[in-house]
Amino acid sequence: MPEEREEERPSARMGPWRFVVWFGTVSMLADVVYEGARSITGPLLASLGASSLVVGVVTGAGEAAALGLRLLSGPMADRTRRFWGLAIAGYALTAVSVPLLGVAGVLWAACVLVIAERVGKAVRSPAKDTLLSHATAATGRGRGFAVHEALDQIGALAGPLLVAGVLALTGNDYGPALGVLAVPGIAVLLLLFWLRARVPDPEAYEREVTGVVPATARVPESRLPRAFWTYAAFTAATTTGFATFGVLSYHLVERHLLSAAWVPVLYAGAMAVDAVAALATGWLYDRVGPRVLLALPVLTAGVVALAFTDTVAIAVAGSLVWGAAMGIQESTLRATVADLVPSGRRATAYGLFAGVVGAASLAGGALTGGLYGYSIPLLITVVVAIQVLAVALLAATRAGRRH
């Protein structure tokens, strides 16, 4: 009898924590692939004859595709309910595009492959986050997304280091450096097919916790909750004041605080802080709820207050604070979306949320970069003011949830 019940409930064939860890392993291996490629995209395109303008346009178009196309892939996932299919298709596009970059040989083909890799991320992300959200209903939203993010960051560190090592061994030959990334790419797809076979219906995790089938599971036309839109406004505000690492590293090198060779080392340190912050705030989220997100506006204001000084130790500390803020953005922010939106509209919500984050990131980069060149004190003042607004919007989100 117990065996029959397990057959009826596919999720029972793997515990929710194991599912989160294995899915985190998928993301870790995928990060080895695409973060490894992104670490040398500029030099690779330049070696094929690209100007700085072409590199900027192509990489910018790729990032726009990675975020903007989720506005389409999210609703598509909810409408078709093919979460596994879209996740696998997106990962497959990345796994194929990256090794081909090493043998493209001509600029136009390399440009197409760079953008195709980012399209793969757009296709898979809303479906992937939705699949993960079902398991985190059982593990705790904050902890589940935090563990996933921590594993993800291991890949973000390992990929560029692997590519750098192969380049050093081969005399800067991009073919082998990108070709070796086919191995983790194949591993990603094998793991995904295995996970789908073990857990064909991850939504069962959430049903087992709530005891009910979500009423909106097959009604994607229903409106998103008002609290989601308020939360999206909070995210837009706090992201608009968030300086990019590009601006931070520009300051460090231009003011002769660090040499260019040390910037990647500092970035690696920021990524390590990212993983720790994700784990810490994820566990706190499950204990105290969205109040933990108050840390994000504080950290965002702290970045500009610290990172743009002319003292090496303080500026480096600001960059590490940037890493902590990134950890919250990549984990706990996504966990809250799952708590605010019913299962049937969750992929749509993740797609819209990514669009908001993308637009706010563009605005934030322009704002901080522009004000940095004009007046650093004014930059700090404006960012602090924006973060005060973000705190008010977070309070409104919490009030909306109670109602």
When pLDDT is averaged across residues 211-237 and rounded to a whole number, the result is 70
pLDDT at 226: 85
* pLDDT reading at 398 higher than 70: no
* pLDDT class of 278 with cuts at 50, 70, 90: confident
- Exposed e or buried b for every residue in 13-30, given b needs 16+ CB within 10 A? ebebbebbbbbbbbbbbb
Read out DSSP for 45-67?
A: HHHTT--HHHHHHHHHHHHHHHH
How many Cβ atoms from other residues are within 10 Å of residue 196's Cβ? Answer: 17
pLDDT tens, residue by residue, 76-106: 988 888 999 999 999 999 999 999 998 888 9
Query: Which tops the pLDDT comparison, 90 or 242?
Result: 90
How many Cβ atoms from other residues are within 10 Å of residue 101's Cβ? Answer: 25
Which one-letter amino acid corresponds to residue 38? R
pLDDT at 89: 96
**In angstroms, rounded to a whole number, what is the distance separating the alpha carbons of residues 289 and 332?**
10
Residue-level length of the chain: 403
When pLDDT is averaged across residues 224-250 and rounded to a whole number, the result is 83
* pLDDT reading at 376 higher than 90: no
Mean pLDDT of the chain: 83
* pLDDT class of 399 with cuts at 50, 70, 90: low
pLDDT at 282: 85
Assign residue 213 a region (left: φ > 0; alpha: ψ between -120 and 50; beta: otherwise).
beta
**In angstroms, rounded to a whole number, what is the distance separating the alpha carbons of residues 115 and 107?**
13
* pLDDT class of 189 with cuts at 50, 70, 90: very high
pLDDT at 363: 78
Helix (H, G, I), strand (E, B) or coil at 221: coil
For the purposes of burial, counting CB atoms within 10 Å of the CB of 134, is it exposed (0-12), middle (13-18) or buried (19 or more)?
buried
pLDDT at 142: 83
Query: Which stretch of 174-183, 280-289, 292-301 has the lowest confidence by average pLDDT?
Result: 280-289
Query: Which tops the pLDDT comparison, 310 or 38?
Result: 310
pLDDT tens, residue by residue, 98-144: 999 988 889 999 999 988 998 999 899 989 989 998 888 888 888 88
pLDDT at 210: 64
How many Cβ atoms from other residues are within 10 Å of residue 48's Cβ? Answer: 16
pLDDT at 211: 60
- 343: Cβ contacts below 8 Å, ≥ 6 apart: 130, 133, 134, 203, 206, 214, 216, 217
pLDDT at 56: 62
pLDDT tens, residue by residue, 19-69: 999 999 999 999 999 888 877 777 788 888 887 677 767 776 777 778 778
**In angstroms, rounded to a whole number, what is the distance separating the alpha carbons of residues 20 and 25?**
9
Query: Which stretch of 50-59, 250-259, 348-357 has the lowest confidence by average pLDDT?
Result: 50-59
Structure tokens at 258: 């660090």
Instruction: Please state whether the predicted TM-score (pTM) of the whole model is above 0.85.
Output: no
